[in-house]
Each structure stands twice: as structure tokens, then as C-alpha cells.
Structure 1
Amino acid sequence: MKKLNLIYTKIENFFFKQDNQAEFLSFFRISIGIIIMLQFLAVMADFEKLFSSDSIIPQDIMNVFTPDWLITFPKIVTFLQSFGIVETTTIAITKVSFITLCIFIITGFYSRISAFILLILQIALLKGSSFFAYGADFFTSMSLFYLILFPSDNSFSLKNFIFRKKPREINITPVKRLFQLHISIAYFFSGLDKALGFNWWNGESIWKAIHLPYSNRDLNIDFTWLAEHSYLLIIIGWSTILIEIGYPFFIWYKKTQKTWLFLTVSMHIGIALILNLYYFSAIMIIWNITNFYFEQSAKKTVHAAKKRMPTHSLSKPII
């Protein structure tokens, strides 16, 4: 019974013990807001070709793969047209609203409400043009979801500066642990999926990836020499599987946390440079830093506080 109580206490502390460490929230809010805005600015010149009625792929075709109950951007356009608002006006309002909401998130001006509205708008754009969506878009949606859950504008925010509010004492540990478990599970099953096939074991997936039409367009590196050194492709494939499957085990272990964080971030930097998946890699790097880089500084802060605390205060409760 004593062991069960001890286990229960450890689980309770893991999920609910407040660590008074909120720097990661400001980092996550600002960095994600910047990345989402940069991603939108990158496609804004081609907005009409992707999301409007004159898109490259006709809306009738994309609507076949969209449920009737789901709110999409074409449906918003059609709805507003019934009130006499033309499509060009809706597009202009959407562009301005998207950028404005990103700025609100970055500056911390009611970022939770802004993230909620932006999430609805982002999903409407994403589901209305699902043929153009890829991994970064889905992680953008999940990032906005976490910005809604977290009190991300509680500190270092424009809202507090304007209204002269002090940061409130809020226990953010439950959501923080949810976020950490989310990324751990995502990496594990991504690695497991790779391990179940044979393409990642023999290096074939790496060879195909670096020769995709959109890959290696910026650095333009000649990888033909790898055909004579296929063992390097195998090593890279095995390393990817090891990093991803081992993530939930080694990222939580104090002695290997920094090493695994470095390996994972390095992997995404390689993906960004070679596969040109900059926004996807940037979001994943932000997720990793948000969840586990600040864990080190939090532990150091607690350890330093305990050192400064008188020995008698450690054994007696503070009343």
C-alpha cells in the first residue's frame, strides 16, 4: 500500500506539481506566431491560385473530398456573396485578418482569443484546399490549439503592458506535460512506422527523398556519389529510426536529454536544408525547444533555489 501511495504521489507530482517556469510559453508564442506569419506571407502572392474560385485545382474537385458540415473558405466566400460581398473583398479581409491575428499572438495581445480565431480561419483555408496541404499545415493547427490551452499571454505580453497587469500564478504543468507526451508519442510512432518497412533499413527512402523534385533546390548538392557509398544511406536511415523511436525514452532521461534534443534538432535542420521543408522543420524545432530545452533551465533554477535556502527551511513547512 505504501508503494502504491508513493507511485500515485510521483504521478500526481509529474502532472500537477507547479514548477513556476513559464519562459517556454513566451518563446513558444512568439516563435510560432512568427513562423505562421512567415508561412502565410510566403504563399500570399499565390493566394488566389490556391484558395479562390480561380484556384489551380477547381473547387468542385476539392469539394468532393470535403464533408458538407465542414466550414471551408469557399463556403465562407459563397455565404458572404449572398450579402453582396464580392470574393475579392473577402480575400482582402482574410489576408489582413490573418496577419493581424499573427501580430496579436506574437505581441501577446489576447493571444488565446487570437489563436482561436486564427485556428478557425487556418482550418477553413486548409480543408478548402486539402490538395495543397502538407505536414507543416497540420502542425500549425496543433500549435494554435496549444496556444489556446496555454495562458501564453500571461507574461511578457502587450496586454499586460497596456493594462498594467502582473503575471498571475497559474499551474501550467498539466498542459505542459500533455504537450511533452504528445511530441514523444508522435516521434515514437513515426519511427515505428519507418521501422516496420524495409525502405528505411536499406537506405532507399533516403535516396528517394534527396532526389524528389522539390528537394535540394537551394544548396543544389550533387548526391550521385552516394550511389557508390550506399552504406551512408543505410546509416542515415537507421539513425533516423533510432532518433525517433528512442525519443520518448532518452528525451525524458536527464543524462541523455541534451544529447537527444541536439540529435533531433540536427535531424530537422538537415531536413530543412536538403529537402527544403523549412516551415515544417522550423515548427518541429520550436516544439522540441519549447518542451525540453527549458526543462534544463528549470531544474537548474530549482536546484539553485534549494542551495540558497536555509537547511532548517527544508525540513519545516512554511506557514
Structure 2
Amino acid sequence: MKNLNILYKKIEVFFFRKSTDSEFLSFFRIAVGLTILLHFLSILADFEKFFSSQSIVPQDIMNVFTPDWMITFPKVVGYFQALGISEYHVILFTKIAFISLCIFIITGFYSRISSFFLLLIQIILLKGSSFFVYGADFFTSMSLFYLILFPSDTHFSIRNFLFKRNNENINITPVKRLFQLHISIAYFFSGLDKVLGFNWWNGESIWKAIHLPYSNRDLNIDFSLLADHSYILIIIGWSTIIIEMLYPFFIWNIKTQRIWLLLTISMHLGIAIVLNLYYFSAIMIIWNMTNFYFEREQIRVQKKTTIPINRKLNPY
């Protein structure tokens, strides 16, 4: 019974201990809002090619893979067209709303409400264009979901500047722990999925990835050397597996947290540079920094403030 009480106390402290750390909230809000905005601006000129009735892949084909009950952008356009509003004006309003909501999130003007409506628009756009969706879009949705859960506009925000509120009673630890467990589980099963096959063992997956049509377009790195030194591909493959599978075990340990955070961020920088997946890499680096970089900084600050007190109590 005593052991159960100790375990319950540890779980309670882990999930509900009140934290004074708030820097990560501002960082997460601004970084996610800015990244989503830049990504949207990068496809703004081609918006109609992805989401309009004149899209590269006809809407009739994409609707085959979309349930009838799901609200998609073509259905929204059709609804407003029935009211006499043209597709052009619906698309124009969607663009303005998307950009405006991103700016509201970045500046901290009712970021929870802004994140909710932005998430709604994003889901409507992506669910009706499943051919253009990839992993980064799902992490975008999850990022907006966490911005809804977090009181991210309570610090360093326009809302806090205009409407002064007492934020000391807000406990953000439960949501932060959920976020940290989420990313830990995601990395572990990503690594587990890689280790169950053989393509990552022999470097085949790395070789295929660097020769994809969209890869290595910016720097045009010559990878012909790897054909004669395949062991490098094997090392990279196993390094990826190790970093991901052991992420939950080493990222929570304060002694190894810094090196594992550095390894993980380096992995995503490599993905960005070689595979040109800048948006995906940016989102994942933001997740890592939000969850573990600022927590380490808080522990470091706490140690600095508690050591002098302990010395006064026990000078020997």
C-alpha cells in the first residue's frame, strides 16, 4: 500500500506539479504560426492548382477517396455557389482568413480561437485534397490542436498587453506532459516501424530517399561516392533507427537530454537539406525545442537559484 501511495504521488507530481515555465508557450505559438504562414505563402500562387475546381487532380477523382459525410473545400464552394457567391470569392476569402488567423496566432491575439478556426480551414482543405497530403500536414493539425489546449496567448502577446490578466493560477503542466509523451511515443514507433523491416538495415531506404525526384534539388550534392561505400548508408540508416527508438529513454534523462535533442535536431536538419522537406523538418524541430529545450533551461535556472540558499543553510 505504501508503494502504491509513493507511485501515485510521483504520477501526481509528474502530471500536475505547477510549473512557472512559460517561455516555451510563446516560442511554440510564434514558431508554429510563422512556419504555417510561410508554408501557406509558398503555395499561395498555386492554391487553385491544389484546391479549386481547376486542380491538377480533378475533384471527382479525389472525392472517390473521401467519405460523403466529410466537409471538404469543394463542398464548401458548392454551398456558397448555391447562395450566389462565386468560387473566386470563396477562394479569396479563404486565403485572407488563413493568413489573418496565422497573424493572430503569431501576435497572440486570441490564439486559441484563431487556432481553432485555422485548424478547421486546414482540415477542410486537406480532407478534400488527399492526393497532396503528407506527414507534415498531420503534424500541422496536431500543432494547432495543442495551441488550442495551451493558453499560449497569456504571455508575450497582444491579448495580454491589451487585457491584463492574472495568469499565475493557470497550470500548464498536464498539457505539456501530454505533448512530451506524444512526441516520445511518435518517435519510438517510427523507429520500431523501421527496425521491423530490412530496408533500413542495409541502407536501401536511405539510397532510395536521396534519389527521389524532389530530393537534393537545392544543393545538388553528388552522392555517387555512396555507391562504392555502402557502409555509410548502413550507418545512416541505423543511426536514424537508434535516435528514434531510444528517444523516449534518453530525452527524459537530464544527463543525456542535451545530446539526444542535438542528435534529433541534426537528423531533421539533414532531412531538410538532403530531402528538401523544409516544412516537415521545421515543425519537428519546433516540437523538440518546445518540449525539452526550455524544460532543461528551467531546471538550470532552478539550480542556480536553489544552490545559494542551500549553502546558507549548510555552509559545510
TM exceeding 0.5: yes
Structure 2 equivalent of residue 317 of structure 1: none
- The 5 Å alignment of 1:87-236 reads 87-236=87-236
Per-residue CA deviations over 1:284-305 (Å, capped at 9, x if unaligned) read 0000000000111111222233
Which ranges of structure 2 fall in alignment gaps of 5 or more residues? none
Q: CA deviation at 1:166?
A: 4.7
Bigger mean CA offset, 156-165 vs 292-301: 156-165
Q: CA deviation at 1:209?
A: 0.3
**SS of equivalent to 2:255:** helix
Paired amino acid for 2:295? E
Residue 80 to residue 313, structure 1, CA distance change in 2 (3 Å) = farther
Structure 2 equivalent of residue 57 of structure 1: 57
Number of equivalences:
314
What is the distance in 2 between the residues matched to 1:29 and 1:168?
19
Paired amino acid for 2:162? I
Contact preservation (8 Å) 1:160, 1:167: no
TM-score, with length taken from structure 1:
0.96
What is the distance in 1 between the residues matched to 2:146 and 2:206?
32
Bigger mean CA offset, 28-37 vs 62-71: 62-71
Which ranges of structure 1 fall in alignment gaps of 5 or more residues? 315-319
Structure 2 equivalent of residue 257 of structure 1: 257
Structure 2 equivalent of residue 27 of structure 1: 27
Contact preservation (8 Å) 1:160, 1:166: no
Q: CA deviation at 1:169?
A: 2.7
**SS of equivalent to 2:237:** helix
What is the distance in 2 between the residues matched to 1:4 and 1:311?
34
Per-residue CA deviations over 1:192-246 (Å, capped at 9, x if unaligned) read 0000000000000000000000000000011011000000000000000000000
Contact preservation (8 Å) 1:189, 1:245: yes
Q: CA deviation at 1:162?
A: 1.7
Instruction: State the superposition RMSD in angstroms.
Output: 1.5
Residue 172 to residue 51, structure 1, CA distance change in 2 (3 Å) = same
Paired amino acid for 1:295? E
What is the distance in 2 between the residues matched to 1:275 and 1:217?
8
**SS of equivalent to 1:255:** coil
Residue 227 to residue 311, structure 1, CA distance change in 2 (3 Å) = closer
Q: CA deviation at 1:312?
A: 9.6
**SS of equivalent to 2:256:** helix
